[in-house]
Structure 1
């Protein structure tokens, strides 16, 4: 059995990023924290944190942190059951931005109708939310990755459909003669951030165009991204949930009718540590499936 004080030291260093700040949090000296980490490393046989600025957990350290956080979540849940105080369940989850802007909050609201919960939401690119799971920082995550992490469960939720859209004013300026490789290279391309490759894949797939040759506007938030497209600042991939009404009203134009990109979404979660957490996962998956398009 690992020493709880040593585990606390590892968690503090990982969250604070340095031995000095971890020591301040724990009310110890930096030397004492270092000694506890060193003892834990000798016990496990692996280096657990990098001695850099900031300090970061190693692969083995991340695995041990998942164990530490699972103990914390289980303790919190057990305390609540013993006290029967009806405390809300704090549910740490990670999600991509478009899900947060569209279906996730309505899904959580459905779950909250019967479950007393407080979501603790972290947002990241859809291909990177799994890292929050891998680091043990959340209990569940929305991701485009179908492959489950070791020891993790994964459930297909449904999909979002994206289309290449632009405002009529931008179409008049750049695509009056049609949407072609040459006009796409001249018009400003909207990209969410430097992790976002959806526009890149669409232009490569349908036009054989390298997106790096397009003038690019970065808009790192889902609602402002759509607003930028509506205002004619550029063209980009818009999910049907955001763009369908504007298309119908003629306020947006589908630049490539019949062509789209489907983004499957998966719910990654650690095996439930309690019946309550199992119920939360089941209800969230059911709610998401009722809100998303299904294969």
Structure 2
């Protein structure tokens, strides 16, 4: 494996973040020609094309591991500079990039924000992605850590269980009565709400009742507004315990007849990296999970 130039690696990372060579040049305060020269030199050293020259630019399969290495090097250098606290490093910021699902960010993860708010010169960069897909961001080198439903560690990462999110299929009493069928409901007719095209929790409930998606499927891509749409009778959906407890108690919304709750086991995956900042973030996530999630079921 050839020795890779740190400056060239950082340029590759910035291109992936900015999307174009010109935007990367502006951020790095160099010319687009200099950016191209750095990437060509890195590609010669690697012996492979690392960046697709598309709009936006994207890393090739060979480029993704180098982006991971570049981000790891960036984190370690920022931590080292912050430790030295010299006059030249007063502006050093440690970037902690993580990916979480929307319901996590809206509920149990918030104490993590409280903790990071007390850390000097630390920027938390959150990407929102469905828990079933968030591990992909780790594979691509886009983030340092992820809250995911994937129990198998991504190469180069560690994994640990956090706990369970519970969802209850629910709707307003009026909507349930409108689509009541005998002792149950007409699953294939009652309007349904999904978060986005990656949200298949409702489909698991339908499959359990041997039903297909109804003709009307609403899309509400916001955790808070998804809950509000159910409360307003737009359709039925999966109510997150932390958000729906008061509504279920007051019967503003009710569980759907014959439907069982679904538990989603969450895991914390992070790079296997000797980083104080990443260690501190991981500990903050563990504390928040212990307080806000249902315990992990024993194997």
Fold match (TM-score > 0.5): yes
Deviations 1:161-195 (A, max 9, x none): 11110011212222264434xx2222110000001
- Measure the CA separation in 2 of the matches of 1:98 and 1:249: 22
2:234 counterpart residue number = 233
Hey, what does 1:253 align to over in structure 2? 254
Superposition pairs of residues 59-138 of structure 1, within 5 angstroms: 59-83=61-85, 90-109=95-114, 111-112=115-116, 118-138=123-143
1:140: how far off?
1.3
Higher share in helix = 1
* Post-superposition CA distance 1:104-123 (Å, at most 9, x none): 002443x4598555532221
Q: Choose which of 181, 203, 206 in structure 2 pairs with 1:203.
A: 206
Q: Secondary structure at the match of 2:257?
A: coil
Deviations 1:133-153 (A, max 9, x none): 223232211111111110101
- DSSP-derived class of the 1:70 partner: helix
Distance 1:187 1:97 in 2: 25
Cross-structure match for 1:282: 283
**Structure 2: unaligned runs, 5 residues or longer:** none
What residue is the counterpart of 1:171 in the other structure?
176
- Structure 1 gaps of 5+ residues are none
> Aligned-residue CA RMSD in angstroms?
2.4
Number of residue-to-residue matches in the alignment? 290
- In the aligned structure 2, how far is the partner of 1:241 from the partner of 1:95? 17
SS, match of residue 184 in structure 1: coil
> Which secondary structure state, in structure 2, belongs to the residue aligned with residue 76 of structure 1?
helix
8 Å CA contact retained: 1:125, 1:195: yes
2:156 aligned with 1:151, yes or no?
Answer: yes
Q: Contact 1:108–1:284 (CA<8 Å) still a contact in 2?
A: no
Secondary structure of the equivalent of 2:97? strand
Cross-structure match for 2:58:
56
State TM-score, norm by structure 1. Answer: 0.89
Change over 3 Å in CA distance of 1:52–1:89 after alignment to 2: closer
Aligned-residue offset at 1:93: 1.5
> In structure 2, how many angstroms separate the alpha carbons of the residues matched to 1:248 and 1:65?
49
Which residue in the other structure is 1:18 paired with?
20
* Separation (CA, whole Å) in 2 of partners of 1:9 and 1:170: 55
TM-score scaled by structure 2? 0.88
